């Protein structure tokens, strides 16, 4: 299974916010820490806000914060929200794709089961378990245990 970069970026934002639950962190700061385009990250942040994962506060003390405790947000929930078109193969697309095997395919049930197992595994882990404290000068950021 491969997640889109969009989803990867969304997970990074949530992991970073989970690493500093009492701090509002700007989109620009997160973009810089993860070497992501700020414009692209802004789209991801809007989507996370619409999904009820984060809240954005304007002003001098503004920035992004988790809307719910990190322990209450699973990786699976986030992936389902951001990967709306989680089509492992063409026939999983909303429009059914153009596969000629679809009416008699014996592969689709197995791929569907694999996708569900993948998401079920992600449901077992929360954002809190993947929290990221942020970059330190001269080295990688520590991970919260």
Q: Which structural domains are found in the chain, ordered by start?
A: 5-130 (1.10.10.10)
Tens-binned pLDDT, residue by residue, of the chain (145 aa): 688 999 999 999 999 999 999 999 999 999 999 999 999 999 999 999 999 999 998 888 789 999 999 999 999 999 999 987 766 666 666 666 677 666 777 877 788 888 899 999 999 999 999 999 876 544 455 554 4
Question: Do 86 and 93 contact (CB within 8 A), yes or no?
Answer: no
Residue 95 φ then ψ, to 5° = -90, 5
Question: Do 76 and 120 contact (CB within 8 A), yes or no?
Answer: yes
């Amino acid at each position: 299974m491969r997640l889109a970069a969009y989803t990867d970026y969304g997970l990074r934002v949530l992991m970073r916010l989970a690493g500093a639950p009492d701090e509002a962190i700007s989109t620009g700061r997160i973009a810089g820490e993860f070497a992501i385009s700020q414009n692209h990250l802004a789209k991801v942040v809007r989507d996370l806000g619409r999904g009820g994962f984060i809240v954005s506060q304007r002003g001098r003390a503004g920035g992004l914060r988790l809307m719910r405790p990190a322990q209450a947000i699973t990786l699976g929930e986030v992936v389902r929200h951001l990967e709306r078109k989680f089509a492992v193969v063409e026939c999983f697309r909303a429009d059914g794709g153009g596969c000629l095997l679809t009416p008699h395919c014996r592969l689709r049930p197995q791929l569907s089961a694999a996708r569900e197992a993948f998401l079920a595994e992600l449901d077992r882990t929360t954002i809190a378990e993947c929290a990221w404290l942020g970059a330190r000068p001269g080295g990688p950021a520590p991970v919260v245990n």
